A and B are shown apart, each in its own frame.
Chain A
Amino acid sequence: MNGAHDLGGMDGFALPQRDDEQGPILKEEWQRLLWGLVWSLRVPGISRGGRAAMEQSIPPALYLSMPYYARWLHRAERSVLESGLVTAEELDNPDGPLSIPDIPDFEPPGPEVIVGGFLACDFSSELDADVRPRFSVGDAVIARNEHPAGHTRAPRYVRGRRGTIHRDHGVHEFQDQLPPGVEREAQHLYSVMFTGRELWGSRGGYKDRIYVDLWDDHLQSVT
């Protein structure tokens, strides 16, 4: 999706200020509440996946005007509303009457379950699949010039550009959103090196190298 989230190379933003904050990162009380909520909410029917895709469907002007945690808030509201367990009227009048959903055998998980889950978690997107890589380290490749309507991990700024396979990360779950009914084979993920000059023309630094993680389906051979 050619959304506003795909920011690589865009000009015109105010310069970033590198603050030296080393203390609490969640500065506002609402950010603390929201962060706690997002990771504590484990309810059947309330979606926890598809975060990236949900963010990218925010209209461009709105996306660019929203600070980081406001986008988390937007996602949290959308996911609870889409579940049907909460209504917009209830959120507009949070102290007013509301319906208590009847979810069989549901208890909201307590601190031991939630934080214990963090400590035990070993999340990897690598798949246990014996799949041959289509490319080898050192191969010249071109990032396919594709502009899918759904979520994709191939940023606009590499499409059609020539790079070199730098590292094979192994077989990883493909993260692009696929059209209904389409399935993708398990495939390798690579770190692909592009030179600054290849990506940005004369504006690219001649000693700049940009490494982007791309899957087999994002790449084609240079023939």
Chain B
Amino acid sequence: MADDKPAQADYDLRTRALVSVLTRKGLVDPASMDAVVEYHESQVGPHVGAGLVARSWVDPDYRRRLLADARAVAREDKLTGFQSTDLVAVANTPSVHNLVVCTLCSCYPWSLLGLPPTWYKDSSYRARAVIDPRNVLREFGLDLDDEVEVRVWDSTAEVRYLVIPERPPGTDDMSVDELAALVTRDSMIGAETLTAIGQQ
């Protein structure tokens, strides 16, 4: 959309008009606006979800609790946020691959993954993930075996879904922090798997 210059210029003009009028009327504090953006760009992000995934790989009890009641775990770990805390975690296995979508809008677990990537909010992804998930994944670079069951989670309520990707092979000696560094945002949506160290 960034190449759509006239539209971008229009959005820019309209946004600045809103901000200017609301600020001049004393209805909004510009310092708050800056702080909100700073918070979303630096404090919340995929590193939060990645920490949770990495721990689930090394701690079987944590993994069991996460899959049974992710919301309780998120609350214990103070990982709640202003988006829904009604969290459900779903785990990939050799025979099951999970993919998250929101066909009605673009609901996403902000408190664990930050703001959603552009492709997640795209009409094409929202339309196709439920009818043709295997080809969507193939276009994303993930060619699943026909026998793998694909589970697509459509976030139609306030429940938010987090995919626990499989632990990549060859990582037995790694610490939780090192493991967390391997976990990508897209793997926690189900758009990719972690097949080897550092490979996305």
Contacts and interface: CB of A to CB of B under 8 A. Distances in A.
Interface of A: 5-11, 13-22, 24-30, 32-37, 39-41, 43, 46, 52, 55, 64, 67-70, 73, 76-77, 80, 85-86, 90-92, 94-95, 98-101, 108-111, 113-115, 117-119, 121-126, 153-155, 157, 167, 169, 172-173, 175, 189, 191, 196, 199-200, 203-205, 207-215
Contacts of A33: 15-16, 19, 33
A3 B127 CA distance: 13
A15 B139 contact: yes
B65 interface: no
B112 to A, nearest CB: 14
B150 A39 contact: no
A115 to B, nearest CB: 5
A98 B117 contact: no
Contacts of B136: 16
A30 B184 CA distance: 27
Interface string B72-84: 0001000011111
Interface string B11-36: 11011111111101111110111111
Nearest to A153: B156
B85 to A, nearest CB: 5
Interface string B30-57: 0111111101110000100000000000
A28 B139 contact: no
A211 to B, nearest CB: 5
Contact of A212 (B1, B16, B121, B154): B154
A80 to B, nearest CB: 7
B83 to A, nearest CB: 7
A99 B126 CA distance: 42
B133 A155 contact: no
B174 interface: no
B25 A86 contact: yes
Contacts of B128: 13, 16
B32 A25 contact: no
B114 A25 contact: yes
Interface string B176-196: 000000001110000100000
Given A13-B124, A91-B14, A210-B154, A98 B25 contact: yes
Interface in B64-120: 71, 75, 80-86, 88, 103-106, 114-119
Contacts of A108: 26-29, 32
B29 A110 contact: yes
Contact of A30 (B11, B21, B104, B140): B11
Interface residues of B, number: 89
Interface string B141-166: 10000111111111111110000000
A94 to B, nearest CB: 4
Residue from B16, B85, B130 having most chain A Cβ neighbours under 10 A? B130
17 contacts: A5-B104, A13-B122, A13-B123, A18-B140, A19-B118, A33-B33, A35-B37, A67-B4, A91-B18, A94-B21, A100-B26, A101-B27, A123-B80, A153-B104, A155-B156, A205-B132, A210-B152
A111 to B, nearest CB: 4
Report the 9 A-B pairs with minimum CB-CB distance, sorted nearest first. Answer: A36-B33, A111-B35, A8-B103, A13-B124, A213-B157, A40-B32, A125-B158, A94-B17, A25-B115
Contacts of B131: 8-9, 157, 196, 199-200, 203-204
Contacts of B155: 213
Given A17-B119, A30-B15, A209-B149, A189 B159 contact: yes
B7 interface: yes
A30 B185 CA distance: 25
Contacts of B117: 18-19, 21, 25
